[in-house]
């Protein structure tokens, strides 16, 4: 047993789980490099990890999962609140007692033949008043290694917790006990019985059956978004699915920008942007989660509660995200990428040419006729501290003051390149109608419009109508002059020939530059139904070959398409019933009124 803590709530819970799950051993994780290396060696011996070529990718590993366990499973993710209405229409709900009963049966003996690891972790810097402590009990050493990269882990966290009871218990089992005499498999899991359950009222997380990403690394989506969003509602702050970037202008002005984007919009690429316009600098504070609260100065301050990046590998290249490639040169765990003949990694989009002699994410010789070499949801897990573009203040306990909030989506038509909300309420409306056209057949038919309000659809731990109300209430108690301004952006608008109108990537800095010009009061704007868009002359197009007509089209709003958009928004809003704040219904009315007004 451990000498690492005398915390009775923790010790009692570990003992209770040991009795229920029946592991052979209990190991406490101290966060040391020695323990990390020991576990990595063990996983290499077990065939779960492969050590990559140290001459090419020092201290890095490759894992490939069971093909049935490759992504978060939203259909098996539950909010277990006493009232179904507290989970709301966008979440799966189960009664907490029923779920506990069901999962207690699943967990019974589920760790037989395995080791139970105790992983104390801090989301946010250890000791910051804004950090949250969790303890993950898991039978997956792969999860232990990943958690050690994604959060502060170990003795320092236990020391900070002391004898307090305010940690979030996070129970995780892959759900594949090893019977006596039986061989383990490289990626144990139980896909038929997978459940990821959240108990926001008692602040607990129970996960069973999956070893992959957000299902298993419980500090990230489960704690820092679903549980934290419910805590934030109760305590008056915001837990958001947002990147945080530091933007420095040629004049030396520094602005911090937060941004929420649905999946497949390039959020990590934006967080790590290399501007295509001279003199501008982007540094990363975070690429996925922002915890925001008002400071003494009345401004909204944001903290990145994570310590690493768990990013999608396919599509990451020298052109799309050079800083990511620089970050991935050492100390990385890759999962479900392809493996090269000389023990390095590869994925679709990394290079134009497919290298010879690839092994696919399934561990088979690559044959283009049998699908991609890397799984489309293949991931890298890497410490943020080794990113060359990391902002020096990224772990400051008080965070960084946010000047602007971006909401984005993948929209081929209607939504302008950038528009500035008229007010906080209008900005909340723009966040509530965020939508993206689907890109993969797996998400339904390609090109379908999917609403993903605030990019929080899979991550809000309570009723999303109440979440909208919480955003409105947050603005209502603020000093309006100190609130961040809110912008809607769309890098994905297409022309009539079906090609992208905007070059995107590093050129998105031109949009960021316009936003800074707005914040600094240097430029005017043009009114549209979605807010204020740039006067075309105010967008810096130096060195950009774009037709004036394309720029015009990018910033325009087609009123005919707006009619059907209003109908679509009305349908979207109707799903929230009487939990929809009246201010948002009013915003939709105002959008409709614009249709009746000027006809040009």
| 491 interface partner picked from ligand TSX, Mn ion, none, CB below 5 to 8 A per type | ligand TSX
Taking CB atoms, the residue at the shortest distance from ligand TSX is 266
Stretch that binds ligand TSX, among 269-277, 292-300, 326-334, 380-388 (CB under 6 A): 269-277
Residue 288 or 420 having the CB closest to Mn ion: 288
Dist CA 473 CA 226 (whole Å)? 19
> Least distance from C-beta 548 to Mn ion, angstroms?
36
349 binds ligand TSX (CB under 6 A): no
User: Rule CB under 5 A: is residue 288 a binding residue for Mn ion?
Assistant: yes
The 3-state secondary structure of 400-461, one letter per residue: EEEEEEEEECCCCCCCCCEEECCCHHHHHHHHHCCEEECCCHHHCCCCCEEECHHHCCCCCC
270 touches which of Mn ion, ligand TSX, none (CB within 5 to 8 A by kind)?
Answer: ligand TSX
Residue closer to ligand TSX by CB (options 334, 505) is 505
Which CB sits closer to ligand TSX, 233 or 246?
246
Determine the Cα–Cα distance for residues 214 and 230; give it in Å rounded to an integer: 18
- Bridge partners, 494 (sequence order): 500
Stretch binding Mn ion (CB under 5 A), from 38-46, 284-292, 324-332, 468-476: 284-292
Q: Which string of x and - marks every residue 406-445 that binds Mn ion (by CB under 5 A)?
A: ----------------------------------------
How far apart, in whole angstroms, are the C-alpha atoms of residue 354 and residue 356?
A: 7
Annotated active-site positions, please?
A: 265
3-state SS track over 303-320: ECCCCEEEEECCCCCCCC
CA neighbor of 288 nearest in space, from 313, 315, 270, 314: 270
Binding residues for ligand TSX restricted to 283-302, rule: CB under 6 A: none
What is the number of other CB atoms lying within 10 angstroms of the CB of residue 56?
Answer: 14
Site string for ligand TSX, 30-69 (x = CB under 6 A): ----------------------------------------
State how far the alpha carbon of 517 is from the alpha carbons of 256, 375, 399, in Å.
14, 41, 24
Rounded CA-CA distance 600/490 in Å is 24
Residues 386, 304: Cα–Cα separation, whole Å = 16
Give the whole-angstrom CA distance, residue 274 versus residue 435. Answer: 26
Rounded-to-integer distance, Cα 279 and Cα 283, Å = 13
570-589 residues near Mn ion, rule: CB under 5 A? none
Report in angstroms the alpha-carbon separations of 95 from 73, 197, 210: 19, 11, 22
Q: Is 505 in the site for ligand TSX (CB under 6 A)?
A: yes
Of 394, 459, 491, 530, the one binding ligand TSX (CB under 6 A) is: 491
Closer to ligand TSX by Cβ: residue 89 or 372 = 372
Q: Which of 191, 355, 372, 504 binds ligand TSX (CB under 6 A)?
A: 504
The answer to whether residue 452 forms part of the interface with Mn ion (CB under 5 A) is no
Q: Taking a C-beta distance cutoff of 8 angstroms, is the pair 551, 541 a contact? A: yes
The Cα 274–Cα 280 span in angstroms is 9
Q: Which stretch binds ligand TSX (CB under 6 A): 264-272, 419-427, 482-490, 548-556?
A: 264-272
| Rounded Cα–Cα distance for residues 121 and 148 (Å) | 8
* 246 closest CA partner among 296, 280, 203: 280
* Binding map of ligand TSX across residues 414-443, x = CB under 6 A, - = no contact: ------------------------------
Task: Work out whether 269 is an interface residue with ligand TSX (CB under 6 A).
Answer: yes
In the complex with ligand TSX, the residue whose CB is nearer, 7 or 508, is: 508
Which one of 165-173, 274-282, 448-456, 501-509 is the stretch in contact with ligand TSX (CB under 6 A)? 501-509
Show contacts with ligand TSX in window 309-338 (CB under 6 A): 315, 320
Residues that bind ligand TSX (CB under 6 A): 264, 266, 269-270, 273, 315, 320, 491-492, 500, 503-505, 508
Residues that bind Mn ion (CB under 5 A): 288
């Amino acid at each position: 047993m451990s000498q690492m803590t005398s915390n009775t709530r923790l010790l009692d819970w570990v003992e209770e789980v040991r009795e229920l799950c029946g592991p052979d051993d209990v190991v406490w994780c101290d966060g040391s490099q020695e323990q990390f290396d020991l576990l990595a060696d063990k996983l290499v011996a077990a065939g779960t990890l492969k050590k990559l070529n140290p001459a090419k990718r020092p201290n890095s590993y490759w894992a490939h999962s069971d093909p049935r366990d490759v992504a978060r499973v939203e259909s098996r993710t539950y909010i277990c609140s006493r009232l179904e209405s507290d989970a709301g229409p966008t979440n799966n709900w189960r009664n907490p007692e029923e779920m506990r009963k069901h999962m207690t049966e699943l967990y019974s003996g589920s760790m037989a033949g395995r080791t139970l690891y105790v992983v104390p972790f801090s989301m946010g810097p250890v000791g910051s008043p804004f950090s949250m402590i969790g303890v993950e009990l898991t039978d997956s050493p792969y999860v232990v290694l990943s958690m050690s990269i994604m959060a502060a882990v170990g003795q320092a966290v236990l020391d900070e917790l002391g004898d307090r009871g305010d940690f979030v218990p996070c129970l995780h089992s892959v759900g594949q006990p090893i019977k006596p005499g039986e061989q383990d498999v490289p990626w144990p899991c139980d896909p038929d019985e997978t459940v990821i359950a959240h108990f926001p009222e008692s602040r607990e997380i129970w996960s069973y059956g999956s070893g992959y990403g957000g299902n298993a690394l419980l500090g990230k989506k489960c704690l820092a978004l679903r549980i934290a969003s419910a805590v934030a509602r109760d305590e008056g702050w915001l837990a958001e699915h947002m990147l945080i970037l530091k933007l420095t202008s040629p004049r030396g002005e520094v602005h911090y920008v937060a941004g929420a984007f649905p999946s497949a919009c390039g959020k990590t690429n934006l967080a790590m942007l290399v501007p295509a316009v001279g003199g501008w600098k982007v540094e990363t504070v975070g690429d996925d989660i922002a915890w925001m609260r008002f400071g003494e100065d009345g401004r909204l301050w944001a903290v990145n509660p994570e310590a690493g990046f768990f990013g999608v590998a396919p599509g990451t290249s020298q052109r799309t995200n050079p800083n990511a490639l620089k970050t991935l040169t050492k100390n990385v765990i890759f999962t479900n990428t392809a493996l090269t003949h000389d023990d390095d990694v590869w994925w679709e989009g990394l290079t134009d040419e497919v290298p010879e002699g690839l092994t696919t994410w399934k561990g088979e010789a690559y044959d283009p006729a049998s699908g991609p070499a890397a799984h489309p949801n293949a991931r890298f897990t890497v410490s943020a501290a080794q990113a060359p573009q990391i902002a020096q203040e990224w772990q400051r306990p008080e965070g960084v003051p946010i000047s602007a909030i971006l909401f984005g989506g993948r929209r081929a038509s209607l939504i302008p390149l950038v528009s500035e909300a008229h007010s906080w309420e209008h900005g909340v409306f723009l966040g509530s109608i965020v939508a993206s056209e689907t890109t993969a057949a797996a998400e339904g038919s390609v090109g379908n419009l999917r609403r993903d309000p605030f990019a929080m659809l899979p991550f809000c731990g309570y009723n999303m109508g109440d979440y909208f109300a919480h955003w409105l209430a947050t603005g209502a108690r603020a000093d309006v002059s100190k609130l961040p301004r809110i912008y809607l952006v769309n890098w994905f608008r297409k022309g009539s020939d079906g090609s992208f109108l905007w070059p995107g990537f590093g050129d998105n800095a031109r949009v960021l530059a316009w936003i800074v010009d707005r914040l600094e009061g240097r430029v005017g704007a043009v009114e549209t139904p979605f807010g204020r868009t740039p006067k075309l002359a105010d967008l810096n197009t130096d060195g950009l070959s774009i037709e004036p007509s394309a720029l015009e089209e990018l910033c325009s709003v087609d009123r005919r398409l707006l009619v059907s958009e209003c109908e679509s928004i009305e349908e979207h809003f109707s799903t929230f019933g009487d939990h929809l704040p009246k201010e948002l219904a009013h915003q939709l009315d105002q959008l409709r009124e614009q249709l009746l007004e000027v006809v040009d």
